[in-house]
Chains A and B, each alone.
Chain A
Amino acid sequence: MELKVKAAEGLPVKKIRRKIWGSEAFYGYLFVSPMVIGFLLVMLVPFIYSVYMSLTDWKLLGDPNFIGSENYQRLVNDPDFWEVMKNTLLFSGGLVPLNIVIALLLALLLQRHLPGIGLFRTAIFIPVMTSIVVWSIIWKYMFGTDEGFINQLLDVFGITGPAWLYDPKFAMGAVIVVSALKNVGLNMVLFLAALQQVDKNLYEASYLDGANKLKQFWNVTLPMITPTVFLTLILTVIGSMKVFGQIYVMTGGGPGNHTKVLVYYIWENAFKLFDFGYASAIAIVLFVIILFFTLVQWSVRKRWVFHEQ
């Protein structure tokens, strides 16, 4: 086949067509075409379509009418939307530091090669592999007012625990803790990988300079793994903006609207109220937020290329 292609060089149109047919470029396009078509059908077109939908009054029945920015004006004046935004930020603000700090601590502890380490790693990683639905169901039960493990444990010490998931003061906190525990293993693994990359000579040098462990961590370890910490931070923030499963299972957005978050609000408007236009407008807000964090990540990553090398 290769010989035929060579022979076709510089010959009439019919032969040139033959040259493309079966050439390296031809197979290149052929091999990527299923995914490129898929990308157009499943990602790009729907995305453009959802921008358009956010400018219409599309409901379950009837035809969509173009209404310009009306949905967005409605958003600005919707007190529920602002509460949902507040809840989402609250969730993110609670989850992200908790997750990152515990993950980093665990990675620092688990990077040593001591007996039994594998067991701990597995234990911490099991929730990552469990479905969020199951994990949330178990914890809903753990947080149960009378039947829950936590309140039964508190009872032993003579404390009457609150109705965790039905109390506006505690519900969000409970969901945050459950979410942090679910995925802390994921970030831990990323940190462990970063810690292994740190040059051992740096530790030796700082040891000779008389630095203690705490100083070593602060002046050697942390600066060396900053790029990973930052990357993980952004990924965790983005993930926290998209929280849904644990809210759906544990609280259903309640009590009141106290744990209703962005994706839950999109889902509710789109698939419970069938207000597709309005739901699309909220979805676009979610996209803009995530786009913002992604761009921050990209720009900072470029600046840190030196560090990474």
Chain B
Amino acid sequence: MNNKKKNNIFIKISFYGILSIISLIMIVPFLWMINTSFKDSTKIFSFQFIPDPFRWENYLHVLKTTPFHLFYFNSFYIAVLVTIGTIFFGSLAGYAFAKLKFKGSNLLFLCLLSTMMIPVEVITIPLFLFMRDLGLINTHVPLIAIPILGPAGVFGIFVMRQFFLLVPKELEEAAKLDGCSYFRIYWNIMLPLSKPAIATLTIFTFLTSWNEFYEPLIYINSKELMTLPLALALFTDEVGTRWELLMSASVMATVPLLVIFFFAQKQFIEGVTMTGGK
């Protein structure tokens, strides 16, 4: 008995030990980032727990020399529009696929779903040329329209359809008897019911758009139109080894959102488990 107890303690210690090490590996880069962001450029090579001198000015320097507020705004409003569009069109189509009977609906759904395996990287070249012909290069239109109508939208249909399939039939039938149109059923009954699915989809779509890098890199040239990831990546080339500035910019780009998503984690994880992480 005593032996077993000892064994248990040993297991617990090694259990927490392994987890602590892996968690540290994940967290240390962020602490290092925050630490460096306050360092003086001459102290980059020395290890200081609390930087001395403690330079808030690094942040001001970044804000003064780059249109950082624009990067923020661009990333934010693009992500908001992509999310709203995805949820609206995705849930509308998802509702139709789950609840309405029409010829070829299953085939159509499968067609849409199968496009999820076409990598965006494969169709980006023709899309770039289309956008060029339409004069939409170096605008935000491709960054908003392509995800909604393409990959993010299809993902949205999938998530919403799976959810609507679980909604009992009786609800709509009652509404139909009351003379509700299909759009009213969708808008007044189905959408309010699907709040959990919408929450999950919101977090997932917003985050994907917010972090998107490949498409902005291809479509955007002007500084004032850049999103945060693109601006940061190019900022890396610009400031070279001014790590303290790069880290201040990175802190500003990540920390506020990480705090928000810390609370939205559950929804995001649900999105992952529901769909196999895309």
Binding site for B on A (CB under 8 A): 1-2, 24-25, 27-32, 34-39, 41-47, 49-50, 53, 102, 105-106, 109-110, 112, 114, 116, 119-120, 122-127, 129-135, 137-142, 144, 146-147, 149, 152, 181, 186-187, 189-190, 193, 231-232, 235, 241-242, 244-245, 248-249, 263, 266-267, 270-271, 276, 279-280, 283-284, 286-287, 290-291, 294
Contact = CB atoms under 8 A, between A and B. Distances in A.
Nearest to B241: A147
The interface centre, meaning the residue of B36, B90, B118, B232 with most chain A CB atoms within 10 A of its CB, is B118
Nearest to A40: B149
B54 interface: no
A168 B145 CA distance: 40
Given A133-B229, A141-B36, A231-B276, A31 B214 contact: no
B126 A46 contact: yes
Nearest to A3: B179
30 contacts: A2-B176, A25-B103, A27-B100, A29-B102, A31-B95, A31-B96, A31-B182, A32-B93, A32-B97, A34-B93, A36-B112, A37-B149, A45-B126, A46-B123, A50-B126, A116-B16, A120-B19, A120-B23, A126-B30, A133-B229, A134-B229, A141-B246, A146-B45, A147-B44, A147-B45, A241-B119, A244-B213, A267-B218, A276-B129, A279-B125
Contact of A280 (B125, B145, B154, B228): B125
B115 A43 contact: yes
A190 B129 contact: no
Contact of B23 (A30, A34, A123): A123
A189 B272 contact: yes
Contact of A28 (B100, B123, B130, B241): B100
Contacts, number: 261
B211 interface: yes
Nearest to B261: A129
The interface centre, meaning the residue of B97, B117, B126, B213 with most chain A CB atoms within 10 A of its CB, is B126
Contacts of B146: 42
B118 A287 contact: yes
A232 B44 contact: no
B203 to A, nearest CB: 9
A244 to B, nearest CB: 6
Given A244-B213, A284-B122, 13 more contacts: A31-B96, A35-B92, A35-B112, A35-B157, A39-B150, A43-B115, A53-B125, A129-B261, A137-B246, A152-B45, A248-B217, A263-B121, A291-B117
A42 B122 contact: no
A39 B112 contact: yes
B102 A28 contact: yes
A152 B122 CA distance: 41
B243 interface: yes
B11 to A, nearest CB: 9
Contacts of B15: 109, 112, 114
A286 B122 CA distance: 7
B26 interface: yes
A267 B218 CA distance: 9
A27 B89 contact: no
Contact of A245 (B36, B149, B157, B213): B213
A130 B258 contact: yes
B262 A141 contact: no
Q: Main SS of the interface on chain B?
A: helix
Contacts of B22: 102, 106, 120, 124
A24 B277 contact: no
A160 to B, nearest CB: 14
A261 to B, nearest CB: 11
A105 B21 CA distance: 13
B264 to A, nearest CB: 9
Which 8 pairs show the lowest CB-CB distances between chains A and B?
Answer: A38-B149, A28-B102, A31-B96, A123-B23, A28-B100, A131-B211, A25-B102, A46-B123
Contacts of A50: 122-123, 125-126
B26 A181 contact: yes
Contacts of A129: 207, 257-258, 261, 265, 268
Contact of A1 (B117, B126, B179): B179
Nearest to B230: A133
Nearest to B35: A149
B149 A137 contact: no
B125 A137 contact: no
The interface centre, meaning the residue of B121, B186, B218 with most chain A CB atoms within 10 A of its CB, is B121
Contacts of B145: 42
A286 B124 CA distance: 13
Interface in B101-155: 101-103, 105, 108, 111-112, 115, 117-119, 121-130, 145-146, 148-150, 153-154
Contacts of A245: 213-214, 229, 233
Contacts of B166: none
A287 B277 CA distance: 20
Contact of A131 (B25, B97, B228, B278): B228
Contact of A2 (B89, B97, B179): B179
Contacts of A266: 121, 125
Contacts of B247: 138, 141
A43 B100 contact: no
Contact of A242 (B23, B108, B119): B119
A241 B111 CA distance: 23
Nearest to B148: A38
A127 B26 contact: yes
